[in-house]
A and B are shown apart, each in its own frame.
Chain A
């Protein structure tokens, strides 16, 4: 008997079995306590509430949402809002970060100084404080009547930034997008069979044709191609408006994210072995060729993993939007919990949504990484 207890295998199995049993017991007891607590408070369970109407409006959405929309649609709008601000931030922050990195690796001392100061200031202050700051600045701007205007087309007031926008409907955008995808698909499929004009002409043709069709069909006779904002009474008519909530969140996250992304890109550029660059110039490459063919590809490979982490981090960082009232996914879920009381279901949807977004970014970036990494190494 004592031999059994002393045996390594028995102890390992017992330990793991005990651990599993503990985890299961914990989960079961949580479910029991949760069920009785939820029943005590008279809350409903199940996902049936997704079909019910919410009864409350949200102040910004890229799809149409009213108080009569269902919970499912409002949650979807929230997820789209999160993705909108997330992807815009990723793009802007990457462009600004690239500029900062180039400034920091240049030999010009003044440019280096500006780059270093920027990174140290924006990286060392919490992002939520930066968002609050920009939001306060934007909401303290003058009212629409005294709005700052740039050539009577852009208006900056405490209601937001009004901009001219192409006067096209959602279905026009969709058909244009479809044409672009079709053209891209054609270029991809024909890459080994056709070349030159034969390959490019049909692709460009599709896009131009669809554009012309959307331009001339279904347009009311008086509306121009571009809708320009105009002050009518106390508010603006026409154009599109960037609300202060979205703008503040976008500026705050972009400036903060750029300081991190800039450092990652700089690290990547500096990680390229000097000898390879010198080999390039010994072979007679021009500076541009060295950068394009040697430096950038190698730097890109070195920085991609950190860049992926940073992108995921920025996506998660969009949740601070709730602090200034931007209706992102987290804010919508939190309001839904208050209004419907479906705590557990909504929390599961919240976590599921973020895991989905983050895993898709990770998946896309890993695919990119697999394509460019050194072959034959892990």
Chain B
């Protein structure tokens, strides 16, 4: 009797049971299902009608763009280059495209486990960032010099993001190690500094870097405004990332550190060969989450007067010609951010499940 498997209860399997369980299990479940089905249908119909069926795609049909017509995507055809490249010279925009592709390739490559080593990852990022800057700036091998004041649009957003990660990541490691230092003065000072930075809004730090730092440092140390803002952003990023790395360092077992000391390994070798690889690997999902937040927060620099993709989108609808197409432009901008952010965060979630199952 005990070994005999019972047949499943009647009505607990099959498509009818599945439907009942997921849509009609009680009377109010049925009511909710019906209401939501109608709402979803109406919303989808309205959206598809607006975005595709009744949309106007080409600039020559611009006169058809009225209040009652669908989306007027002609604005993107007309102002797309402004949104993507800002005021970058028209003939040189292929360089901007290539530069963006080099950073996007860098991001994609660093998602591959093959590159997850303490030596390969930094080399990859520095190379990708350097390619970006060289291509954008030019001034060698016959490429026209384009200074950073002319950079704009999506390429400026990508520059700020990659600059923040390239400068912020080593800083974060430094902060995390300093906060865990056995020297109380250093540990306390860095702890205090990290906590203060974390309790301030990003905007106040960027504002201070743009406006106040010129008052406080000698002229030769000021650099340009973009540089200062990227560094301030990197410090902000580092304060958050340092806490993530610190959590990773704490998750490595004490025994490993003691074993390394017992074997007479020097401190830097202990950090680079034993602690950091494990700390990074254990906190990879949180690190990706931090990168996702950083991509979204680059849009804040528009407030202190940089012409990144958010600002160039606003400029595209700032003139009377396309002033009524604000919904289309904002949806387009949202789509740009969504592609990056959604892609990365899905990857992070996938990685998290994989790590929970004991791979990676």
B108-132, CB < 8 A from A: none
Binds A, one of B86-94, B203-211, B275-283: B203-211
> Is A323 located at the chain interface by the 8 A CB criterion?
yes
> Is A63 located at the chain interface by the 8 A CB criterion?
no
Tally of chain A residues near chain B (CB < 8 A): 51
> Is B57 located at the chain interface by the 8 A CB criterion?
no
Q: Tell whether, in the assembled complex, residue B37 and residue A110 are in contact, meaning their CB atoms are under 8 Å apart.
A: yes
Q: Tell whether, in the assembled complex, residue A129 and residue B299 are in contact, meaning their CB atoms are under 8 Å apart.
A: yes
Shortest Cβ distance from A41 into B: residue: B215
B197-227, CB < 8 A from A: 199-204, 207-208, 211-212, 214-218
> Is B274 located at the chain interface by the 8 A CB criterion?
no
Q: Tell whether, in the assembled complex, residue B300 and residue A320 are in contact, meaning their CB atoms are under 8 Å apart.
A: yes
Task: Return chain A residues, CB-CB under 8 Å to B327.
Answer: 133, 136-137
Q: Tell whether, in the assembled complex, residue B334 and residue A316 are in contact, meaning their CB atoms are under 8 Å apart.
A: no
Task: Return chain B residues, CB-CB under 8 Å to A124.
Answer: 296, 337-338, 341-342, 345
> Is A19 located at the chain interface by the 8 A CB criterion?
yes
Task: Return chain B residues, CB-CB under 8 Å to A355.
Answer: 196, 199-200
Task: Fill in one digit per residue for B1-29: 1 if any A CB lies within 8 Å of its CB, else 0.
Answer: 00000000000000000000111010001
> Is A290 located at the chain interface by the 8 A CB criterion?
no
Q: Tell whether, in the assembled complex, residue B296 and residue A126 are in contact, meaning their CB atoms are under 8 Å apart.
A: yes
Given contacts A111-B36, A125-B334, A129-B310, contact A317 B215 (CB under 8 A): no
Tally of chain B residues near chain A (CB < 8 A): 53
Chain A residues touching B, majority SS:
helix
Q: Tell whether, in the assembled complex, residue B334 and residue A108 are in contact, meaning their CB atoms are under 8 Å apart.
A: no
B275-334, CB < 8 A from A: 296-297, 299-300, 302-303, 310, 314, 317, 324, 326-327, 330, 333-334
Shortest Cβ distance from A23 into B: residue: B189
> Is A66 located at the chain interface by the 8 A CB criterion?
no
Instruction: For A125, give its contact among B201, B214, B314, B337 (CB under 8 Å).
Output: B337
> Is A358 located at the chain interface by the 8 A CB criterion?
yes
Shortest Cβ distance from A359 into B: residue: B199
Given contacts A107-B22, A124-B341, A323-B303, contact A330 B314 (CB under 8 A): no
Inter-chain CA distance A19–B342, complex, in Å, is 43
Instruction: For B216, give its contact among A15, A34, A108 (CB under 8 Å).
Output: A34
Task: Return chain A residues, CB-CB under 8 Å to B78.
Answer: none
> Is B40 located at the chain interface by the 8 A CB criterion?
yes
> Is B32 located at the chain interface by the 8 A CB criterion?
yes
Task: Return chain A residues, CB-CB under 8 Å to B212.
Answer: 343-344, 347
Shortest distance between the CB of B156 and any CB in chain A (Å):
15
Q: Tell whether, in the assembled complex, residue B36 and residue A129 are in contact, meaning their CB atoms are under 8 Å apart.
A: no
Task: Return chain B residues, CB-CB under 8 Å to A359.
Answer: 199
Given contacts A109-B22, A126-B310, contact A319 B218 (CB under 8 A): no
> Is B186 located at the chain interface by the 8 A CB criterion?
yes
Task: Return chain A residues, CB-CB under 8 Å to B214.
Answer: 37
Shortest distance between the CB of A72 and any CB in chain B (Å):
20
Q: Tell whether, in the assembled complex, residue B32 and residue A126 are in contact, meaning their CB atoms are under 8 Å apart.
A: no
Task: Return chain A residues, CB-CB under 8 Å to B199.
Answer: 312, 354-355, 358-359
Inter-chain CA distance A42–B269, complex, in Å, is 53
Shortest Cβ distance from B33 into A: residue: A110
> Is B355 located at the chain interface by the 8 A CB criterion?
no
> Is A140 located at the chain interface by the 8 A CB criterion?
yes
Q: Tell whether, in the assembled complex, residue A110 and residue B40 are in contact, meaning their CB atoms are under 8 Å apart.
A: yes
Task: Fill in one digit per residue for A311-327: 1 if any B CB lies within 8 Å of its CB, else 0.
Answer: 01000110110110000
Inter-chain CA distance A90–B330, complex, in Å, is 25
Task: Return chain B residues, CB-CB under 8 Å to A187.
Answer: none
> Is B183 located at the chain interface by the 8 A CB criterion?
yes
Shortest distance between the CB of A149 and any CB in chain B (Å):
20
Q: Tell whether, in the assembled complex, residue B211 and residue A343 are in contact, meaning their CB atoms are under 8 Å apart.
A: yes
> Is A113 located at the chain interface by the 8 A CB criterion?
yes
Inter-chain CA distance A63–B81, complex, in Å, is 46
Q: Tell whether, in the assembled complex, residue A110 and residue B36 are in contact, meaning their CB atoms are under 8 Å apart.
A: yes
Q: Tell whether, in the assembled complex, residue A323 and residue B302 are in contact, meaning their CB atoms are under 8 Å apart.
A: yes
> Is B185 located at the chain interface by the 8 A CB criterion?
yes
Given contacts A125-B338, A129-B299, A359-B199, contact A110 B314 (CB under 8 A): no
Task: Return chain B residues, CB-CB under 8 Å to A241.
Answer: none
Q: Tell whether, in the assembled complex, residue A320 and residue B303 are in contact, meaning their CB atoms are under 8 Å apart.
A: yes
Task: Fill in one digit per residue for A328-344: 1 if any B CB lies within 8 Å of its CB, else 0.
Answer: 00100010010000011
Given contacts A108-B32, A351-B200, contact A133 B330 (CB under 8 A): yes
Q: Tell whether, in the assembled complex, residue B330 and residue A136 are in contact, meaning their CB atoms are under 8 Å apart.
A: yes
> Is A12 located at the chain interface by the 8 A CB criterion?
yes
Shortest distance between the CB of B68 and any CB in chain A (Å):
15
Inter-chain CA distance A87–B342, complex, in Å, is 29
Inter-chain CA distance A23–B185, complex, in Å, is 11
Identify 14 residue pairs between A and B in the complex whose beta-carbon atoms are under 8 Å apart, listed by A's number. Answer: A16-B183, A16-B186, A37-B215, A121-B338, A126-B299, A129-B299, A133-B327, A133-B330, A322-B303, A323-B302, A323-B303, A343-B211, A350-B204, A354-B200
Using a CB–CB cutoff of 8 Å, the interface residues on chain B facing chain A are 21-23, 25, 29, 32-33, 36-37, 39-40, 182-186, 189, 196, 199-204, 207-208, 211-212, 214-218, 296-297, 299-300, 302-303, 310, 314, 317, 324, 326-327, 330, 333-334, 337-338, 341-342, 345
Using a CB–CB cutoff of 8 Å, the interface residues on chain A facing chain B are 12, 15-16, 19-20, 23, 30, 33-34, 37-38, 41, 107-111, 113-114, 120-121, 124-129, 132-133, 136-137, 140, 312, 316-317, 319-320, 322-323, 330, 334, 337, 343-344, 347, 350-351, 354-355, 358-359
